Amino acid sequence: MKDKTIASFSTLSDLSLTHEQHAHEAGLSLEEYDRIKRLLGRVPSKVELGIIGAMWSEHCSYKSSRAHLSKLPVSGPQVLVGPGENAGAIDIGDGLAIVFKIESHNHPSFIEPFQGAATGVGGILRDIFTMGARPFALANLLRFGKPSQKRVPFLLNGVVGGIASYGNCFGVPTVMSNVDFHESYDGNNLVNAFAIGVVQKEDIFFGRASGVKNRVLYVGAKTGRDGIMGAVMASDTFMEDAKSKRPTVQVGDPFIEKLLLEACLLAFKEKLVVGVQDMGAAGLTCSIFEMANRASTGLAINLDHVPLRDETMTAYDIMLSESQERMLMVVAPKDVARLKQIFEHFGLDCADIGHVSGDGIVRIHHKGHDVVELSATLIIENAPRYRRSYISEIPALRQSIKDGVNVDVATAVESFKNDLGQKDLTYITSQFDHHIGLATIVGPNVADAVLIKVPNSRKAVALSLVSHGKLCKIHAMEGARRLIFQAALEVSTQGAEPVGITNCLNFGSPENVPVMTDLKHAIDGMAQAATSLSVPVVSGNVSLYNETKGQPILPTLAICLVGLADTPSCYTKFSRAKENHRLVLLGELPDDYTGAEAVIDELPSGMSPKPWDGDFILCMAAILRRGVLDDLIDCASVVGRGGLLLSLIKIMAGSGLGADLDLASICPRDELSLALLSEDAPRVLLAMSEDKFAALAKLCENLVPINALGRLHGDEFAIKHQGQIIFSEQKNVLIANFATSLEEYLASH
Amino acid sequence: MTENIRPAIIVFPASNCEKDMAQVLQEVFSLSPILVWHTETHLSNDITHVILPGGFSFGDYLRAGALAAHSPIMAEVKRLARFGLPTLGVCNGFQILCEAKLLPGVLLRNHHDRFVCTVSRMTWFGARQTHVPQTIHLPIAHRDGRFYAGDATIDRLREEDGIALVYDDADENGDALVNGAKACIAGIVGGPKRNILGLMPHPERMASEHMLGSDGLRILKDFLFGQDDERQNDCKL
């Protein structure tokens, strides 16, 4: 009754429907619906409900994670733009900035893998060029269910095909992939897309609708019915048949996006744009409300002028469509004509759909009716913040866990054979154009971190993209810390200094206490490690509700760490390892098995990894950089998943050489397996020429342990202890196994 | 000497290798290429070479290069190529040359139906002038790179030394392992003065030791200078 009285004060047209029903459709709880009524002092219209539902979705509002994300270090002398804008930006000197971000497109990619993954790439590219930057590299992190699951080959080929079709056509190299398989992803595969671009730092653009009376332009492709309420769908768990959600997946067109990029960059160059934002999640809604909120302005929008693929679309459809390749621009009235000319040249739509107002209210008009009248700030700043329940106690960090664990090298080699997550990824990365742009110095699969020349600059960026769901499941905080430490070491193997981090938190439902506990601790661990290395987290994305029928995915924190190399003429590659090169192990020796891939599934519960020390990592990273820049080190592999053994196999595969090692210098006879398989200590395996060893040892003196293990040689892989052969195998057998199984697996399914 | 050489690079809406090509012509050969938008109808008289770069021309939803072959600029490109102007099509550019009937054959979807980006070993026989076969490594990046032509056309290409570049690794039928190209053909040459060269690999991606390698230089020098070894010394390497 009361609602009706309030409604009579509004000029909006459709306030008589059953709104509880619509609230549910918009993904809002009844409490949230009541909150809206209180905030507005009236009932919302159906379109308004759809808008608020999208803006308050987990995907857009971070309502479960925001409270914790505030702990991340986001500033620093080189940070030009931190979280909150379309992407983060770091000053790299010479007047240039790099702009980068990683973002999830998990839910759509499970429903429709090809289009879901393709539009994930499209979205992240728009985030970069919306800032005014020209994208120069893409990367991705992919997670699939256990390989025996019937749908996995279909999903993998679809996702890889979608990324390839979009990235290759757009013309930006896809330089790195991180791929793994686990049964927890059976009902929720993950697609995280990363992009990086470069811009003159004074030319960075922001998503702000400033300047009263400025015009609002809609540019790019037409609006269709695809992806309506996609942001809400992405904030929900899957219950049954994901197919029924197909219409919520957008369809991408890289050809249009390429034209949009060139048109936007030309418009930016001619200084015709005041503010700009791409229409990503929640489409026109999100771009209108966020741009108005950032500038504390209002917008008057007439939907009658929005270019449509289907004229029968309602205001609700138009506001919530997630059709791809569209942007919203705020421009001075005098520049409208020139902008229309530019977009026409590229064959794109460019429509004047409204103007900026000074009263802070977003007013939307459609076919003779006002359908929305909302304060952007009211809606965004009053989005719910949930303090979801979690267990604050951090699991104790235990020391030595080696008793009761028995694994020999032959068994471990055998287990790697059946583990697709340990394979050479050439089958996947060869489907991505990683050479275009002439900037790829060290590309995919030939080193731990890739090295890409920054266009129009002498500098290069090294990228490391890591994640370790199983370790984060054991101990989310230490797992998160180690990921950042590992990534810092990896970029250091390319002579690069860590300058910034972007992250994607892929988790299950935050309403589930163990999931929320992992999420909270993972963020804390990330904050600790980033702080201890003084590397800011400048952008990121949270993807929750990755669970099906109550089964959450492993806590999958994807970390992409960007390093800056001033002199990219020095770098490491597996193929640079040569006959008779010395194999050298830098770092601490493990005394623990926790987290080791070879035994992880057999560990007793309650085990915890040993904490790594941030200062020690800084020291190792500095030595690695010096060693690479002084041309002492030719090849390096940071010991991670699969332990020292997998690092050895990678170097043998890359160099085509066998290896002859004696591990007596690093461990007693009965701890050989521990030395080879443990992932519990920060270590880096190096290959270098004999005569340079002394110089590196001198750098390490009193700081970091360094041990010569043997040399690269011949056709055999032999592990000895005091001269006695413990394990040997023809190198070709190991290499073939590492290199071909992924392709064979997919061919046979 | 390079001052008389003035290449034009034709840009279609979704060309994406034109900047790479221009960069190499500038940095490695000290040339000043001009970029020409596909809706132009005329190339200026000082243009000495025409290049159709890699990309997806119009998104290529119909067939690679099919729409581009009918762009306004192509009438001029055809006229000049048939007159003898050196014309190079790389990847999508090769597809356009075939669709425009400046070269025989067609580029079909790879036999494995996947995009493939890799460095392949090939044998280069020369274009404007043939020479002793040379083994080179070049990067490829395409999904529609399977050259196909009827047997009679292949025989004629062989007779006329029209096969400029072949992939080294063949299957039991003699077709390329990497994409299924008939007779391992990676590039062909035609035109009145052996002046029209179409290649699936990207020579511009291997034009310096600072890149992936420098084997692409041999092809670019052949195209730009007609295999004149003395002129090669003028390049800034």
Does the predicted TM-score (pTM) go above 0.90? yes
List the A659-662 sheet strands across, edge first: A635-638, A683-688, A582-587, A706-712, A659-662, A716-721, A724-730
What is the sign, positive or negative, of the torsion defined by CA atoms of A242, A244, A248, A252?
positive
pLDDT digits (tens, 9 = 90+) for B4-15: 899 999 999 889
Selecting among A19, A22, A68, A105, the annotated active-site residue is: A105
Q: Which residues of A733-745 are buried (b: 16+ CB within 10 A; e: fewer)?
A: ebbebbbebbeeb
**Rounded Cα distance, A587 and A392, in Å:** 32
* pLDDT tier for residue B235 given thresholds of 50, 70 and 90: very low
Secondary structure, 3-state, A119-161: HHHHHHHHHHHHCCCEEEEEEEEEEECCCCCCHHHHHHHHHHH
The mean of the pLDDT values for chain B is 91
Chain B CB contacts of A437 under 8 Å are: 19-20
Choose the closest CB to A433 out of B23, B58, B141: B141
Q: CA B227, CA B211: separation in Å to the nearest integer?
A: 22
| Residues of B taking part in catalysis | 91, 202, 204
Cα B190 to Cα A391, B102, B144: the distances in Å are 73, 8, 21
| Max CA distance (Å), chain A | 91
Domain spans of chain B, in order of start: 7-232
Nearest of B40, B37, B36, B30 to residue B4 by alpha carbon: B30
Q: Which chain B residues touch A432 with a CB distance below 8 Å?
A: 115, 117
CA distance B158 to chain A (A): 31
Contact list in B for residue A164 (CB cut-off 8 A) is: 114-115, 143
Q: Is A437 on the interface with B (CB under 8 A)?
A: yes
Confidence at A89, pLDDT banded by 50, 70, 90: very high
Asked if A170 has any chain B CB less than 8 Å from its own CB, the reply is yes
Query: Would you call A464 helix, strand, or coil by DSSP?
Result: strand
C-alpha angle A320-A11-A292 in degrees, rounded to nearest 5 = 45
CA angle A24–A28–A34, rounded 5-degree value: 100
Residue with the larger pLDDT of the pair B159 and A610: B159
Cβ contacts (< 8 Å) between B209 and chain A: which residues? none
* A422 alpha-carbon distance from chain centroid: 20
Distance from CA of A228 to the nearest CA of B (A): 25
- Percentage of chain B lying above the pLDDT 90 cut: 81
Rounded to whole angstroms, how far apart are CA atoms B83 and B76? Answer: 11
For residue A739, which residues of chain B lie inside 8 Å, CB to CB?
none
CB–CB contact A431 B116 (8 Å) = yes
Measure the CA–CA gap between A626 and A618, rounded to whole angstroms. Answer: 12
How close A255 comes to chain B (CA, Å)? 5
- Disruptive mutation site among A172, A438, A441 for chain B (greatest number of B CBs within 10 Å): A438
CA distance B70 to chain A (A): 17
State CA A105 to chain mean position distance. 10
Cα separation, A142 vs A444, in Å, equals 15
For all residues of chain A together, what is the average pLDDT?
88
Q: How confident is the model at residue A229 (pLDDT cuts 50, 70, 90)?
A: low
Helix (H, G, I), strand (E, B) or coil at A177: strand
- Which residues of chain A neighbour B179 with C-beta distances below 8 Å? none
**Contact across the interface for A433 and B117, Cβ inside 8 Å:** yes
Q: Are A174 and A462 in contact (CB under 8 A)?
A: no
Does the beta carbon of A258 lie under 8 angstroms from any beta carbon of chain B? yes
User: Is A546 within 8 Å of A501 (Cβ atoms)?
Assistant: no
A16-25, A75-84, A103-112, B29-38: which is most confident: B29-38
Quick check: B59 and A438 CB within 8 A? no
Angstrom distance (rounded) from CA A397 to CA A392: 15
Is the pLDDT higher at A599 or at A478? A478
pLDDT, tens only, A268-284 = 999 999 999 989 888 89
The answer to whether the CB of A537 falls within 8 A of the CB of A530 is yes
Closest CA to A661 of A612, A725, A589, A606: A725
The chain B residue lying nearest A158, using CA atoms, is B114
> A365 an active-site residue?
no
Number of alpha carbons in the 13 Å side-chain half-sphere of residue A249: 23
With cut-offs at 50, 70 and 90, classify the pLDDT of residue A242: low
Alpha carbon separation from A510 to A192, A301, A386, A546 (Å, rounded): 19, 36, 10, 10
Rounded to an integer, what distance in angstroms lies between the CA atom of residue B6 and that of residue B35?
A: 11
Q: Give the model confidence (pLDDT) of A316-354 as tens digits.
A: 999 988 888 899 999 999 999 999 999 999 999 999 999
B193 CA: distance to closest CA in chain A (Å): 31
Instruction: Please state, in angstroms and rounded to a whole number, the distance separating the CA atoms of residues A28 and A553.
Output: 24
CA distance A519 to A748: 37
Considering only CB atoms, A438 lies closest to which of B13, B114, B205, namely B205
Separation of alpha carbons A195 and A88, rounded Å = 11
pLDDT confidence bin for A5, thresholds 50/70/90: very low
Please give the full DSSP string across B35-88, using - where no structure is assigned.
EEETT-----TT--EEEE-SB-TTTTSSSTTTTGGGSHHHHHHHHHHHHT--EE
Compute the radius of gyration of chain A from its Cα atoms.
27
Nearest to B14 among A258, A433, A434 (CB): A258
Residues of A in contact with B139 (CB under 8 A): 435
Across B120-126, average pLDDT:
95
Q: What pLDDT, on the 0 to 100 scale, is given for residue A274? A: 94
Residues 6+ apart with CB under 8 A from A95: A200, A201, A202
Beta carbons of A435 and B117 less than 8 Å apart = yes
Confidence at residue B209, expressed as pLDDT on a 0 to 100 scale: 77
Tokens of A223: 């609006």
Class of domain B7-232: alpha beta
Q: Residue A251: what pLDDT?
A: 76
Contacts of A308 by beta carbon, 8 Å cutoff, 6+ apart: A222, A223, A224, A318
- The tens digit of pLDDT for each residue in A189-217 reads 999 999 999 999 999 988 888 899 999 99
pLDDT of residue B99 exceeding 90: yes
Question: What is the DSSP secondary-structure string of A531-571?
Answer: HHHT--EEEEEEE---EETTEEPP-EEEEEEEEEES-TT--
Mutate to test the interface with B, among A324, A325, A436 (most CBs of B within 10 A): A436
pLDDT, tens digit, 9 for 90 and up, residues A683-723 = 999 999 999 999 999 999 999 999 999 999 999 999 999 99
Residue B230's pLDDT is 40
* Confidence grade of residue A391 (pLDDT, cut at 50, 70, 90): confident
Substitution target from A435, A445, A456, A743 for chain B, most B beta carbons within 10 A: A435
